[in-house]
Structure 1
Amino acid sequence: MCAAGVTLACSDRAPGLRTARSVNESDIAQLRTAKGLLERPSLAARISSFVGAPIEKGLEMLPERWKPAVDDTVRKSIEMSLALALRTLDAERAGTASDRLHKLAAGASGAFGGAFGLPALAFELPLSTTIIMRSIADIARSEGEDLAGTEARLQCVQVLALGGASEHDDAAETGYFAARAAMAKAVSEAAAHLARHGLTQQGAPALVRLVAQVASRFSIVVSEKTAAQAVPIVGALGGALVNTLFIDHFQDVGRGHFIVRRLERLHGREPVQRLYETL
């Protein structure tokens, strides 16, 4: 008998969802949680609520030369994150994710950025991105990812892109599964290259394409964060709080993404995607 509200999980009603292990109410609840995390209000909306003014006000305060500087810093941060993910993430560590510890570290980094403003971005963003990457890896491990494999590590880097949707973008292009599909070729090509050559050719086209795709989306969120820190009232304390929102945003996206991947390992991607879209 189908439980109320979960008819899509019942094999007699939705045979396409029947896999090696039947989808149950717990799976549906977890997928609903993941969708809630992946589709929370944008970082811009959350920061605007904190600052008490639309994020556009902060954007107007930034000098004209800020965007090239931000883009360059974002690209370098993604390159650093890719190297970090492939070389230094601990594949053996187990246990629950240390979200709070990483938030404290990100807050300290944000305090530095808030105190010194835009000139500090070149130092603060790589540090914050490194903290975020380690937190994402922590979450991935807690959801059953094997970080000994290159593909799982690249998925950690991809989270930085999945968190970059903007309310001004076309929803058809920025939905969770659409964003994954858009990144799929770059991720698979990078994984294939790394399997053959490792990181000995960091300027290889496959890696350059991956970095460019991640950076183009990550820069949206970085711009929002930078704009908030440009507001005069923010300062060091505000910078710490903005950076806490920044890492919290990516922790949510990472948790949602790796819950979905865990369910996909059990039931297959297409059934999980179809169910996700009905929730």
Structure 2
Amino acid sequence: MTDARLRSDQILEPLDREAELDRLAEKLRDASGVGLQLLNMVGTQAENLIDMLPQTVRGGLERATAAALEQSFRAAAASRGRVADTSDWLTRAITLGTGAAGGFGGLASALAELPVTTTIILRAIQGIADEHGFDPAKPEVRAACLKVFAAAGPLDDDDGSDLSFITLRLSVTGPALSGMIAKIAPRLAVPLGQKLAAQAVPVLGLAAGAATNYVFTSYYQEMARVQFGLMRLAEQEDEPLEHLVHDLKKRLL
């Protein structure tokens, strides 16, 4: 079971537990491989990307990430009911454009573009929550949407088995937003630092910016589908989310 409940006004087809876990395992494998072409494009390893950033930027990464998350959380929530959910390909096309614009001007424009792209991705995550039967207007679902950003980034070289973000507990009472962001920002700062560095690659800036955003958008969309797929299955089966995460991990071995 999860803290978030499925919407009562939405009828969803029942899932086959084992088949759904197999499907989600395949999504994880796909998501963990989306960054390889980008790394080939910029000609470096993921662990070297952040070292390419100026020390002043590296030192302020977590603060910049927290600011981007806070802006994005408010803007994405405010857009629901005003702007319709878009398809995966359209969302990726939009962020491809913002990434190209961010990469065109180097590091300065990439930093300015960061909250814009984060908002678009978070808005897409909210749409994915809705497609799985969860109401993004509810505080616990909004927290779950933000939690997707705690996943290891697309340039991480793990096998997709780090699913700790799915069972991360976030408070949705009291000073909820600042508390959630304080937990997520340190995790997201590393992949966003890699994104900024890739966008700032000399000569390749515009192309690398577009490719980086495409990779990041695709990755977090897939991770959102894994998270909300597991949450939906937990509700249907009346089973602890931790049990499903354990069974999913076994499929990745």
Q: Could you say which TM-score interval applies, normalised by the shorter chain?
A: 0.7 to 0.9
Report if the CA contact (8 A) 1:163-1:253 is conserved: no
Q: Structure 1 vs Structure 2: percent identity of aligned residues?
A: 28
Tell me how far 1:121 sits from its aligned partner. Answer: 2.9
Residue 28 (structure 1) aligned to one of 18, 34, 38: 18
Q: TM-score, normalised by structure 2?
A: 0.80
Where does residue 119 of structure 1 map in the other structure?
108
Q: TM-score, normalised by structure 1?
A: 0.73
Structure 1 position 139 matched with structure 2 position 109:
no
Residue 221 (structure 2) aligned to one of 251, 257, 261: 251
Report if the CA contact (8 A) 1:74-1:218 is conserved: yes
Deviations 1:66-88 (A, max 9, x none): 11343332111111122235444
Q: Would the alpha carbon gap of residues 168 and 237 (structure 1) be closer, same or farther in structure 2, given more than 3 Å must change?
A: closer
Which of the pair is proportionally richer in helix?
A: 1
Structure 1 position 152 matched with structure 2 position 122:
no
Unmatched tracts of structure 2, length 5 or more: 1-13
Deviations 1:193-226 (A, max 9, x none): 2xxxxxxxxxx3x432211111111111101111
Distance 1:102 1:264 in 2: 28
Letter in 2 for 1:263: L
Structure 1 position 130 matched with structure 2 position 116:
no
Residue 192 (structure 1) aligned to one of 173, 182, 185: 173
SS of 1:65's partner is helix
Q: Would the alpha carbon gap of residues 153 and 216 (structure 1) be closer, same or farther in structure 2, given more than 3 Å must change?
A: same
Residue 238 (structure 1) aligned to one of 201, 205, 208: 208
Moved more, 53-62 or 83-92: 83-92
Report if the CA contact (8 A) 1:163-1:249 is conserved: no
Where does residue 278 of structure 1 map in the other structure?
250
Report if the CA contact (8 A) 1:43-1:221 is conserved: no
Deviations 1:143-196 (A, max 9, x none): 111223111111111111124487589x9xx821x3333x30xx1x2x122xxx
Count of aligned residue pairs for this structure pair = 234
Structure number with greater Rg is 1
Unmatched tracts of structure 1, length 5 or more: 1-22, 194-203
Report if the CA contact (8 A) 2:149-2:188 is conserved: yes
Where does residue 5 of structure 2 map in the other structure?
none
Structure 1 position 84 matched with structure 2 position 56:
no
Report if the CA contact (8 A) 1:44-1:221 is conserved: no
